[in-house]
A and B are shown apart, each in its own frame.
Chain A
Amino acid sequence: MSVSPTVSRASGIRHLLLMAFRRPGLLAAVAFLLAVAIGTAWPQFLSAYDPIAADPLQAQLPPGAAHWFGTDQLGRDVFSRVVHGARYSILIGVSAVVIAAVVGSILGLFAGLARGVIDEAITRFLDVVSAFPDLLLALVLISFTGPGTVNLIFALGVASIPRFARVVRAQTFVIAESGYVEQAKTFGLTKAVLVLRHILPHAMAQVPILATIGLGTAIIGAAGLSFLGMGPQPPIPEWGAMLAEGRNYLRVAWWIGVWPGVAITLTVISVSVLGRHWQASFEGRRQG
């Protein structure tokens, strides 16, 4: 995929169309994520009803023309709640990944550059943290902080730090040993320039890809923890919390507990498709 820098706008669009035709899955994923992004930024743009206000006369209506996804036990429109829920579920996932990526990269870079005792200490510390399963570690942190949106983000973010730290550390090792850094040293560059201009960009190159793929895991983890009641509290329309409510009404109204899950699954699939494609083109080979 070598696009020359002087590519014209028209051929850029044609290139895009060609890509879409060849990879309909990728196109669908991007389109769905765009819709989710709109739902996150302007939920009122996509939904007609108030996601919080109860209307007991309209309770538990099955999906129909007026309420596409039906209404829940309090008469709230499920479609509107799913659309508004994107804001919570996506933002919790994104924030947790950002925390993990930033802290993890700093730790990894530090360990990779310092080597010796500091590297050993950081690596051992990461080993200990990863001995606790991700979700359980997050639960331990929440048992100190108490449930809530911010606490959930913090717990989930901290639990995923080792993943980023490990990759950046290994990458820093490789880059710092490589020929061009050795040569750059002979130019008499200061340590700061050497690290910031020559090591950092390459050591971090994979972080955005890891973060994209990790976003799917984070969204599932966030929904799981809020399903357990550790995240945003009712009546906030977070997807995992909605599923917890819907589980109790499964006998009488299946739609309350089904649509939020569809939203989670489609979002995570789209993110994974995008992340895998990115990773494949980064590695310079195309998946079959």
Chain B
Amino acid sequence: MDVENVTALRQVPVSPASRHFSLMRATLLSQVLGRVGSGILVLWAAITLSFISLHVAPGDIVSLLIGEQLRTPVIEAAIRAEWGLDEPLFSQYLSYLWRVLHGDFGRSYILQTDVATLILSQILPTLKLTAAALVVAVVFAVISAVATAGLRWPRRIAGAMELVLVSTPSFWLGIVLLFIFSFTLKLFPVAGDRTFSALVLPALSLGLSLGAVIGQVLREGLERALEEPFALTVRSWGANGLTLRLRHGLRHAALPAVTLTGWLIGNLLSGAVITEQVFGRPGLGKITVDAVLGKDLPVVLAVAILSAFIYVVLSTLVDILYLLIDPRLRART
């Protein structure tokens, strides 16, 4: 899912509202269960896919798991024992599934550590970065949409700015921000994650381009909402333009923007990997890049499964929220 899908996403599925309330409650429950079920199915398939990939990939599984580490009989024996390589394939699969379900992602033989412990120790800086970037994105989107919707020149300027932001690689934006604010003006630290001010530039470079996309969708939704009859009604109460936009229009505009959630999560996670590298921050992104370059597959697969888990859980939650907020969607089968 990426920038080009935005146009397709703007059309919110709308179906004729069902008036059969008793029927609707039953559909709501079954639809929620359906979403949860298909989320679990996708996760199971993702874990299975990573198991299969280890067995289908060329080369024997021991050297795949060992990565760039020196292969000694001791390590080989440890891997064979851990993955149960002497057992039949299906029982290997079942025990892999069992271990992953319990949060056991095995051992990284390059870093000589437990993968789950490694990930847990690195997850906080990444969470901070993605949360801060999300705040930047949403604030930017709301301001640029509310301030420019329906106004000819402001929206053109905002649109051009958004096109530039969407087309700018976030890591290059990071380099430019570093040059201006850290090296020239010396306002923010160059690297690390010790202070709050170290979070500002990474969050801006990751959040702005995402905010530009959300802003486009939000503005379109807001412009549609401002043409609705209810906008006229609110104006007739004597409400000023800003109240109308913030309190009434934004609610309608937010619904189409929510469909971007899946896209947003994927981009936040992917973008964090690169942003951490630009700003020399610790975090999941850094261990992922090191693991990919060192062919440390246990770590790479664990990060992949974790990000699929985050993606599936959040997008399922949003789907369900959507069903609760907008009754028109429930009638769909």
State the A residues within 8 Å of B (CB).
124-125, 127-128, 130-137, 139-140, 142-144, 146-147, 160, 163, 167, 210, 213-214, 216-217, 220, 223-224, 227-230, 240, 243, 246-247, 250-251, 254, 257-258, 260-261, 264-265, 268-269, 272-273, 275, 279
Contact = CB atoms under 8 A, between A and B. Distances in A.
Contacts of B3: 213, 216-217
A237 B304 CA distance: 30
Interface residues of B, number: 58
Nearest to B288: A139
Contact of A213 (B4, B270, B296, B307): B4
A258 B176 contact: yes
Nearest to B273: A135
Contact of A227 (B267, B277, B293): B277
Given A261-B172, A264-B172, A210 B4 contact: yes
10 contacts: A127-B38, A130-B1, A131-B42, A143-B295, A217-B3, A223-B169, A230-B292, A250-B179, A258-B176, A265-B172
A142 B267 CA distance: 19
Nearest to B305: A132
Interface in B1-43: 1-5, 7-8, 38, 41-43
Contacts of B243: none
A216 B167 contact: yes
B175 A136 contact: no
B293 A147 contact: yes
B168 A139 contact: no
Nearest to B280: A247
Contact of B49 (A128, A136, A147): A128
Contacts of A220: 167, 169
B176 A261 contact: yes
A240 B288 CA distance: 18
Nearest to B299: A143
B1 A163 contact: yes
A60 B93 CA distance: 55
Nearest to A217: B2
B142 interface: no
Contacts of B53: 140, 144
B151 interface: no
Interface string B252-285: 0000000000000111011101100110000000
B1 A272 contact: no
B320 interface: no
A128 B42 contact: yes
A251 B183 contact: yes
A132 B312 CA distance: 9
Contacts of A146: 295
B274 A227 contact: yes
Contacts of B277: 227-228
Given A163-B4, A210-B4, A229 B293 contact: yes
Interface centre among B4, B53, B311 (most CB of A within 10 A): B4
Contacts of B270: 133-136
Contacts of B46: 128, 131-132
Contacts of B115: none
A142 to B, nearest CB: 6
Given A143-B296, A258-B176, 5 more contacts: A136-B304, A136-B307, A139-B300, A163-B4, A264-B169
Interface in B151-178: 163-164, 166-172, 175-176, 178
Contacts of A137: 304
A115 to B, nearest CB: 18
Contacts of B5: 163
Nearest to B266: A133
B42 A140 contact: no
Contact of B303 (A136, A167, A246): A136
A272 B167 contact: yes
Contact of A228 (B2, B43, B183, B274): B274
B200 interface: no
B173 to A, nearest CB: 8
B45 interface: yes
A147 B297 CA distance: 14
B318 interface: no
Contacts of A128: 42, 45-46, 49
A135 B289 CA distance: 11
Contacts of B175: 243, 246-247, 250, 257-258, 261
A227 to B, nearest CB: 5
Given A132-B304, A213-B4, A243-B175, A269 B164 contact: yes
B222 interface: no
Contacts of A143: 291-292, 295-297, 300
B302 to A, nearest CB: 11
Contact of B308 (A132, A229, A260): A132
Contacts of B8: 167
A272 B271 CA distance: 20
Nearest to A25: B160
B217 interface: no
Contacts of B43: 131
A196 B179 CA distance: 55
